[in-house]
Structure 1
Amino acid sequence: MSLILMYITNSPEVAQIAQKSGVDRIWIDLETFGKEERQKGMNTVKSQHTVDDIKKIKPILTKSEMLVRVNPWNDNSVQEIDQVVSAGADIIMLPMWKSAAEVTNFINSVGGRCKTTLLLETKEAVECLDEVLKNDGVDEIHIGLNDLHLSYGLTFMFELLANGTVEKLTKKIAGAGLPYGFGGIARLGEGLLPSKKVIMEHYRLGSTRAILSRSFCDNAIITDIKEVEHVFTENMKELRDYEGVVAENIESYEKNRIVVQQEVAKIVEIIRRKRNAD
Structure 2
Amino acid sequence: MPFRLEPERTFRHALEQPSNGVGPAGAKIGLWVCSGSALVAEIMAGSGADWLLIDTEHSPNSLESVLAQLHAVHGYPVLPMVRLPWNDVVLIKQYLDLGAQNLLIPMVNDAEQARAAVAAVRYPPHGVRGVGSALARAARWNRIPDYLARADETISLAVQIETGEAVENVEEILAVDGVDAIFIGPSDLAASMGYLGQQEHPEVIAAVERCLAAAQAAGKPAGVNAFVEATARRYIEAGARFVLVGADVAILARSSEELAARYSATGGAGTTDDAGRPASY
- TM-score grouping bracket, smaller chain normalisation: 0.5 to 0.7
The whole-number CA distance in structure 2 between the counterparts of 1:184 and 1:124 is 21
Cα gap change, 1:170 to 1:97, in 2 (>3 Å) = same
Structure with greater helix percent: 1
Partner of 2:64: 52
Normalised to the residue count of structure 1, the TM-score between the two structures is 0.64
The whole-number CA distance in structure 1 between the counterparts of 2:45 and 2:109 is 33
The whole-number CA distance in structure 1 between the counterparts of 2:246 and 2:103 is 19
Q: Which amino acid aligns with 2:215?
A: I
Partner of 2:39: 13
Q: Structure 1 vs Structure 2: percent identity of aligned residues? A: 25
The yes-or-no answer on 1:148 pairing with 2:148 is no
The whole-number CA distance in structure 2 between the counterparts of 1:54 and 1:163 is 32
The number of residue pairs the alignment matches comes to: 198
Query: 1:11-65: CA deviations, max 9, x gaps?
Result: 121111111111222322222xxxxxxxxxxxxxx41111111211212322222
Q: Tell me, which stretches of 5 or more residues in structure 1 are unaligned?
A: 32-45, 186-194, 228-278
Q: Tell me, which stretches of 5 or more residues in structure 2 are unaligned?
A: 1-24, 123-151, 260-281
Contact 1:145 1:160 in 2 (8 A): no
Partner of 1:124: 165
Contact 1:72 1:97 in 2 (8 A): no
Aligned equivalent of 2:210, options 168, 183, 194 = 168
Query: 1:226-259: CA deviations, max 9, x gaps?
Result: x9xxxxxxxxxxxxxxxxxxxxxxxxxxxxxxxx
Partner of 1:70: 84
Query: 1:73-123: CA deviations, max 9, x gaps?
Result: 3xxx11111110011212111111222111101011111351111110011
The yes-or-no answer on 1:183 pairing with 2:225 is yes
Per mean C-alpha deviation after superposition, the further-off stretch among 145-154 and 12-21 is 12-21
Task: Report how far residue 162 of structure 1 moved.
Answer: 6.7
The whole-number CA distance in structure 1 between the counterparts of 2:234 and 2:46 is 27
Task: Report how far residue 163 of structure 1 moved.
Answer: 5.4
Contact 2:229 2:245 in 1 (8 A): no
Q: Which amino acid aligns with 1:133?
A: L
The yes-or-no answer on 1:84 pairing with 2:73 is no
Aligned counterparts, 1:172-251, within 5 A: 172-185=214-227, 195-214=228-247, 218-219=251-252
Q: Which amino acid aligns with 1:86?
A: D
Cα gap change, 1:161 to 1:180, in 2 (>3 Å) = farther
Normalised to the residue count of structure 2, the TM-score between the two structures is 0.64
The yes-or-no answer on 1:28 pairing with 2:40 is no
Q: Which amino acid aligns with 1:87?
A: L
SS in structure 1 at match of 2:226: strand
Contact 2:182 2:222 in 1 (8 A): yes
Task: Report how far residue 145 of structure 1 moved.
Answer: 0.2
Task: Report how far residue 221 of structure 1 moved.
Answer: 7.4
The whole-number CA distance in structure 1 between the counterparts of 2:159 and 2:84 is 11
The whole-number CA distance in structure 2 between the counterparts of 1:136 and 1:160 is 32
The whole-number CA distance in structure 1 between the counterparts of 2:205 and 2:226 is 18
Cα gap change, 1:183 to 1:150, in 2 (>3 Å) = same
Contact 1:6 1:26 in 2 (8 A): yes
The whole-number CA distance in structure 1 between the counterparts of 2:182 and 2:105 is 10
